[in-house]
């Protein structure tokens, strides 16, 4: 198990995806609900559970590595446009350790946003569930809590806005 963990960490750090993907990828989990994840909250001894995520709004699971430059660019894009995403719940998760993750949290002031939760997937559930070691990896769940789309690689701001605006419109219709 330890060898698998080391292999997975190395693979993730080496597989930062540079090309923005316009099309969503097929995961085999389309239409399924948000996977049950127990995320260690950095700097605390408590866990955040994805069952705590609010229904009725778009939920974005953003899987990253603190050392991935494309993850940093994606996070900068999200944070600098957060007013456009105020109705979107973000769960920012990694398998990196607290020492590596905390500077990322501080750099982007992620604790300043009420719609952002940051956690460490200590059980490596997310990469196993989606079968992907690519970062950044984004899974977008609609207001009903079902997977709408997933992206391996960076998502451009316009595409991100379109995806979340569509979800907000769908939410207001319900």
Q: Determine the pLDDT at residue 7.
A: 46
pTM: 0.83
Domains of the chain, by residue range, sit at 2-173
Residue of 54, 66, 56, 128 lying closest to 91 (CA atoms): 54
Strand order across the 137-141 sheet: 47-49, 38-40, 116-120, 89-94, 59-63, 137-141, 147-152
35-49, 74-88, 131-145, 150-164: which has the minimum mean pLDDT? 150-164
Q: Determine the pLDDT at residue 64.
A: 98
Q: Determine the pLDDT at residue 163.
A: 82
Q: Which CATH number fits domain 2-173: 3.30.2350.10, 3.40.30.10, 1.10.510.10, 3.20.20.70?
A: 3.40.30.10
Residue of 139, 155, 148, 137 lying closest to 78 (CA atoms): 155
Q: Determine the pLDDT at residue 164.
A: 74
């Amino acid at each position: 198990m330890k060898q698998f963990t080391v292999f997975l960490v190395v693979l993730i750090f080496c597989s930062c995806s540079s090309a923005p993907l316009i099309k969503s990828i097929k995961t085999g989990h389309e239409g399924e609900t948000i996977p049950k994840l127990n995320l260690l909250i950095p700097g605390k001894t408590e866990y955040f559970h994805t069952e705590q995520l609010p229904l009725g709004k778009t939920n974005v699971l953003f899987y990253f590595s603190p050392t991935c430059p494309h993850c940093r660019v994606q996070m900068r894009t999200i944070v600098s446009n957060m007013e456009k995403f105020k109705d979107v719940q973000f769960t920012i998760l990694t398998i990196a350790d607290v020492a590596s993750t905390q500077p990322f949290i501080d750099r982007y002031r992620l604790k300043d946003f009420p719609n952002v939760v940051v956690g460490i997937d200590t059980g490596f559930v997310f990469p196993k569930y989606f079968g992907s070691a690519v970062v950044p990896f984004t899974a977008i769940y609609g207001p009903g809590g079902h997977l709408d789309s997933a992206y391996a690689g960076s998502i451009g701001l316009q595409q991100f806005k379109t995806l979340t605006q569509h979800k907000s419109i769908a939410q207001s219709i319900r």
